[in-house]
Structure 1
Amino acid sequence: MKEKEAIMLALFLSYLVLITKGKYIRSIKKGANSSQFLIYRRVNKTIQMESGDIFDCIDVNLQPAFDHPLLKGHKIQEAGIEYRDDYMYGTRAIINVYEPKVKKDSKDLSASGLNINSGPEGGQADTIGAGYSVSPSLSGDGYARFHVAWDEGVLNKSCYDLTCPGFVQICHTFGLGGRLQPVSVYNGSQYVITILIFKDPNTKNWWLIWGEEKTPIGYWPHSLFTYLKDKGTYAFWGGHVSGPTASTDSPQIGSGHFASEGYSKAAFVKNIKIVDGNNTLVNPGDKKALAGSTSLSKFTVDGYEIDKDGMHTFYGGPGDLA
């Protein structure tokens, strides 16, 4: 009951933020020219975070999401938990943050997070997701940065953060693409992020909620999608690598160590819940979950279990950087 109330509270808070006059924040690489992102958009101010990230601020009503006409891959190796054949209206998980090694001269990335999707297998599925990734070709560095992403399967369109119309950001203190600090240390302190994605039963939009404080970041309008207009039927929690050389010269996932090393040495995802038709966080069904890896010599999954706090597992590995 408390979890249901928490979701409703987050939803209520999101409405409060929507009616306030805020600003939207767009993250760019340190020292980069932001004009390519903000053409025809008046910048109110530019700020620099303690991490060195630079953000240009524009009026919330001028963000790229409202340019979307509906609003007026590479080879991937996965290590984590797949969940199929259930109706889902959201999911929540706690993930510890590492900075896996990705070669600077590659266009590969290593990411960890969660996603939920719906649609026919083999293509055309709609997907929304959130988590952190390391991608030197994208950010120019090897830092872990928080991103959101989505696919519209029928139109074969993919996007991340605010680089194209779609996701509507309503929190003016959170920068998509921003560096996450501090990060976990192998055999040392562990630092986590908490992510909740759920479908508002009234507006039908998909909301992103951040942290234990349940801060509403923004939402994906349901009109973006074909199959996710109503509900999700598949979810994934864990890590993956993708890119031109990700299958032959794979980056690390998580800490870069195998899952069998356990707490403080391997990456983990825990307290996994799904949102059911009553808008309540519940444990996923054990028989519908599959913990595994597409390349056991590079990445593993271990310690999979479901308890009163939800589903959890360790995952990750060195890839080809062992």
Structure 2
Amino acid sequence: MDMKGYSVSSTTNHRNKPFFAASIHTTKQQLTRPQKIHSFKLASFSYYYSIPMLLPSLVLLLLLVPSVHSNSTYHIATNNSFTPFLRLKRIRQHLSKINKPPLKTIQSPDGDLIDCVLSHQQPAFDHPNLKGQKPLEPPERPKGYEENNDNVTESFFHQLWTHSGESCPQGTIPIRRTTEQDILRSSSIRRFGRKPRGVRRDSTASGHEHAVVFVNGEQYYGAKASINVWAPIVTDQYEFSLSQIWVIGGSFDNNLNTIEAGWQVSPELYGDNYPRFFTYWTTDAYQTTGCYNLLCSGFVQTNNRIAIGAAINPRSAYNGRQFDIGIMVWKDPKHGHWWLEFGSGLLVGYWPAFLFSHLRSHANMVQFGGEIVNSRSRGYHTGTQMGSGHFAEEGFRKAAYFRNLQVVDWDNNLLPLSNIHQLADHSNCYDIREGTNHVWGTYFYYGGPGRNVRCP
């Protein structure tokens, strides 16, 4: 069975020459055989969020404390003892909001549970402006868009949860279930699923470092690229490494609007080091609005084959086979919503226009590239890798790449980039090299190992 929606670059006899890379398809037989997995139906979510049977006994024991201690001692005991219970209660209340009752649940070999939720019951429709509505029909794609030769309706991008052959029924969407452990890894319930505040493209004050190319100075209505997929090492639980497209409106202060999509490795968010397909949005520079994936009301998913936040497989290997994913974000000229396409022609869903202020009309910047968090938790620069963990100069099959970079103009045309800018916050840690040829169009290599002799 052909793998559709995933591009593989072949390099026979043309080492380090991207323009000789041919886009082909691999097969399931070439993937690592997953363990046997099963799907099962859940009649109710109450089991997952009920308080364990042990808790009533503990509560009873605590209530007996004042009979043997003074009032002051009693207050101290109850405050200290009940704090974890109150936090657990708040976590379960939050989980009940974002985890919707599924028609079917699929066990992924990486430990994820993928819930098949009725489309109109997904988190997006908790938003006051969307209550009672249903997902919209697909929009017109940009002019100049070239579909893969595969039948788009049969295209399928491999994520680990699909390896059992199970899928979500029509009328539902797959959602990665959020667990108590996911939230407990976060700094707080309120910040769970959100990027740290103060993230700026042109500053590393917040510990974020970038290697990107960007265009600005015009009005942009979308962006498209193929992004090479790797599994970079992230050395600290509270750091991440990602590769993505940013569609940006406003300025880098409190009114920043962004739409973001790509892949990321985030131990804090997912509890492992798998690269995962993700989305993000914000309207106030990551302060209070927006979130990753479907962890808040906002993004409306329309596809029953892609689970946002689920692990990607296969990944690229150093000096071996290369894999990349197609990402396109563009503004529907008719309704003004921002749509997301993944792989070869798979529409994932859309961000409603009303979510935004500046992006309600257009973007004034588009950015492509990598980002990491450098927490300096050990007192020196992080060893978290960007891309493949190798510098841009190593080239094809060794350094990570973006290829076929394009933007969408006011008339819904896909166009090549012009007036391109490069930015590497710390080029001794992570760098970038841009180029153009007749097969890859505008492309670049980027990334690095982080801490090294030139990056102390």
Per the normalisation by structure 2, the TM-score is 0.59
Q: Is the 8 A contact 1:37 1:163 kept in 2?
A: no
Residue matched to 1:226: 357
2:431 pairs with 1:300: yes
How much identity, in percent, do the aligned residues show? 35
Structure having the higher Rg: 2
When residues 112 and 164 of structure 1 are mapped into structure 2, their CA distance, relative to the original with a 3 A threshold, is: same
1:111 to 235, 242, 246: 242
The residue aligned with 2:274 is 143
Does the CA-based 8 Å contact 1:108-1:245 persist in structure 2?
A: no
* Cα 1:143/1:46, change in 2 over 3 Å: same
Secondary structure of the corresponding residue to residue 228 of structure 1: helix
- The alignment partner of 1:91 has SS state of strand
The residue number in structure 1 matching 2:81 is: none
2:100 aligned with 1:41, yes or no? yes
Unmatched tracts of structure 1, length 5 or more = 1-32
- Higher relative contact order structure (alpha carbons within 8 Å, sequence separation ≥ 6): 1
CA–CA distance in 2 between the matches of 1:89 and 1:66? 25
Structural mapping, 1:85-96, within 5 Å: 85-96=217-228
Residue 310 of structure 2 corresponds to residue 251 of structure 1: no
Task: Give the AA of the match of 1:58.
Answer: V
Question: 1 or 2, which has the higher strand percentage?
Answer: 1
C-alpha distance after superposition, 1:204-255 (max 9, x if no partner): 000000112x111010000000010011111111100126448932511000
Offset of residue 321 of structure 1: 6.3
- The residue identity in structure 2 corresponding to 1:230 is S
Q: Does 1:184 align with 2:316?
A: yes
Deviations 1:54-105 (A, max 9, x none): 20122110111111234342431110202111211100000110011002x4
d(CA) in 2 for partners of 1:302, 1:173:
35
Q: What residue identity is the alignment partner of 1:194?
A: G
2: CA distance between counterparts of 1:135 and 1:234?
A: 26
8 Å CA contact retained: 2:403, 2:442: yes
C-alpha distance in structure 1 between counterparts of 2:102 and 2:288, whole Å: 31
Match of 1:157 in 2: 289
Q: CA RMSD in A?
A: 2.2
- Do the aligned residues in 1 keep the contact of 2:249 with 2:365 (CA within 8 Å)? yes
> Which segment is superposed worse, 47-56 or 293-302?
47-56
Residue correspondence of structure 1 range 1-322 to structure 2 within 5 A: 37-39=95-97, 41-49=100-108, 51-72=110-131, 73=196, 74-103=206-235, 105-153=236-284, 156-212=288-344, 214-242=345-373, 244-245=375-376, 248-285=381-418, 287=419, 289-305=420-436, 309-320=440-451
TM-score of the superposed pair, with normalisation by structure 1: 0.83
CA distance in 1, matches of 2:437, 2:425: 22
In the aligned structure 1, how far is the partner of 2:128 from the partner of 2:327?
Answer: 28
Q: Which residue does the alignment assign to 1:26?
A: none
**Contact 1:82-1:236 at 8 Å conserved across structures:** yes
Gap regions ≥5 residues in structure 2: 1-47, 50-91, 132-195, 197-205
